[in-house]
Amino acid sequence: MVRTTPVEDPGDLFSRLPDAAPYAWVRRGEGLVAWGEAVRLDVPPGPGRFDWARDRLAEIFGEAHVDDDVTAPGSGPVAFGSFTFDPDAHGSLLVVPETILARRDGRAWLTTVGERRLDAVTPLRDPGRIRYGDGSLTAPEWQHAVARAIRRIRSGLLEKTVLARDLNAVAERAIDVRLLLARLAARYPECYTFSCAGLVGATPELLVRRTGETLESLVLAGTIARGSGQADDMARGAALFASEKNRHEHACAVASVRQALDPLCAELKIPEEPELLVLANVQHLASPVTGRLPAGTSVLDVVEAMHPTAAVGGTPTGRALDVIRDLEGMDRAGYAGPVGWIDARGDGEWGIALRCAQIRGPRARLFAGCGIMGDSDPASELAEAQAKLRVMQYALEG
């Protein structure tokens, strides 16, 4: 029994979360937060994982008795999900939460699955001092891996790959995900602040939003650090635009999205030139994409067609993934995989899980990666990865 009813404006969505493992997808104060587990699906690895997930969800949603007084994208039953980057890895999952609180376009609603329970909102807990340790590779080892990838690109084997690194953190006390969400949303309002089964972050990259027949996506690739003032910032933004390396890196990502969406969309609009997306830590080249989908195409069909884009894989995809497997030296788990939500109509929003960490009790595993081209410089890529890691370091430390 699923019931959705309109509610008064709840204010800050995160402040309504009880101290349970929360689910969230929020940008500029709008989106969905949720808690409790009515249904949990562990998605079996393999090439058919998105089809399996879509079909199992359709069965589950089909069996529900739904009483929905709102009928908007995200009303009625919703599943949050996170898919591993590697289709053959375990760990992809979908959860239909028991309680969902949402706000969108001036409307707010509450969805409950089963009996309505009142969960007490406890005060946020500080995790205390954070200590960091190397992840799978030390910084010099990772730079070495980047140098090897550059050599393979220069030999003509591939055009682009994306190498990531991880960083381990341990707090004095269990990490309260709600605190991370609040800090991320305040500092990165342009990004999608997300939480799903311990994978928490603020990603600037929208893989796909499906609203009826309308598709939206935001392709990102090409990065430069923020400047020390407005003039410096603008000069850096202009340098990013003029950088052949970054424009080429961005063009690879756009081409991969075009290739994935062309067969799916009746209309597809991709601007000729990227624009600049300025975040608190870095600036990116960004291409907003829109398209029209045939009726009946679920958001998960689009996710399946798009993952992995060249923003997190490379060009050509197969060879780039071989290089990642060979040189990165780690399991990406949910990092760089699709994360988001889907409702019973097939509408939903999915991002690429970037600027994120996997949280387990007092431990966090932070991730960041960089597009590697033939003219990349390993030391600059390391600095870029460090700037991207700062997102979650800030969330942990405040």
Question: How far apart, in whole angstroms, are the C-alpha atoms of residue 319 and residue 58?
Answer: 35
Nearer Cβ to ligand ISC, position 137 or 368?
368
Nearest distance, CB of residue 247 and ligand ISC, angstroms? 11
Query: Tokens at residue 304, please?
Result: 């399946």
Q: How far is the CB of 387 from ligand ISC (least distance, A)?
A: 9
The upper half-sphere exposure of residue 160, i.e. CA atoms within 13 Å in the direction of its Cβ, equals 26
Check residue 303 for interaction with ligand ISC (CB under 6 A): no
Kindly state whether residue 371 participates in binding ligand ISC, applying the rule CB under 6 A. Answer: yes
Place of tokens 């387990």: 360
Q: Which is nearer to ligand ISC, 32 or 368 (CB)?
A: 368
Is 98 in the active site? no
Nearest CA among 217, 179, 222, 220 for reference residue 392:
179
Alpha-carbon dihedral sign for residues 40, 44, 48, 49: positive
Q: What residues pair up with 105 in beta bridges, in sequence order?
A: none
368 binds ligand ISC (CB under 6 A): yes
Q: By CB under 6 A, is residue 306 in contact with ligand ISC?
A: no
Residue 205: active-site member: yes
Minimum distance of ligand ISC from residue 324's CB (angstroms): 11
Of 312, 321, 323, 342, which lies in the binding site for ligand ISC, with binding defined by CB under 6 A?
Answer: 312
Closest approach of Cβ 371 to ligand ISC, in Å? 4
Q: Tell me the torsion sign for CA atoms 331, 93, 340, 172.
A: negative
**What is the spatial distance between Cα 243 and Cα 246, in angstroms, rounded to a whole number?**
5
For residue 109, what are the contacts with CB-CB under 8 A and spacing of at least 6?
4, 5, 6, 7, 69, 70, 72, 75, 101, 102
Cis status of the peptide bond prior to 316, with omega within 30 of 0: yes
Contact 308, 220 (CB under 8 A): no
- Residue ranges in the chain assigned as alpha helix (H): 49-63, 139-154, 177-187, 230-242, 244-261, 299-306, 317-327, 378-397
From 102-110, 137-145, 149-157, 366-374, span contacting ligand ISC (CB under 6 A): 366-374
Q: Measure the CA–CA gap between 334 and 83, rounded to whole angstroms.
A: 6
Please, which residue, 182 or 220, has the CB nearer to ligand ISC?
Answer: 220
Among 75, 82, 223, 287, binds ligand ISC (CB under 6 A): 223
Sign of CA dihedral 256, 262, 265, 267: positive
Residue list 138-167, contact with ligand ISC (CB under 6 A):
162, 164
CB of 370 to ligand ISC, least distance (A): 4
Give the x-and-dash track for 225-264 against ligand ISC (CB under 6 A).
----------------------------------------
Cα(196)–Cα(69) distance, integer angstroms: 26
Residues 6+ apart with CB under 8 A from 317: 256, 308, 310
Q: Give 215 or 391: the residue with its C-beta nearer to ligand ISC.
A: 391
Lay out the site mask for ligand ISC across 283-302 (x = CB under 6 A, - = otherwise). -x------------------
Minimum distance, C-beta of residue 211 to ligand ISC, in the bound complex (Å): 24
Q: Which of 34, 220, 321, 357 binds ligand ISC (CB under 6 A)?
A: 220
Q: Figure out which of the listed residues 369, 376, 378, 387 binds ligand ISC, where binding follows CB under 6 A.
A: 369
| DSSP codes of every residue in 362-388 | TEEEEEEEEEE-TT--HHHHHHHHHHH
Contact call for residue 94 and ligand ISC (CB under 6 A)? no
Say how far apart CA 219 and CA 71 lie, in whole Å.
Answer: 29
Q: Is residue 355 a contact residue for ligand ISC (CB under 6 A)?
A: yes
164-183: contacts with ligand ISC (CB under 6 A): 164
Exactly one of 98, 115, 159, 160 is catalytic; which is it?
Answer: 160
343 near ligand ISC, rule: CB under 6 A: no
Q: Of these residues, 98, 141, 172, 205, which one is catalytic? A: 205
Task: Tell me which stretch binds ligand ISC (CB under 6 A): 1-9, 124-132, 169-177, 368-376.
Answer: 368-376
Positions that interact with ligand ISC (CB under 6 A): 162, 164, 205, 220-223, 284, 311-312, 354-355, 368-371, 388
The residues carrying an active-site annotation are: 160, 205
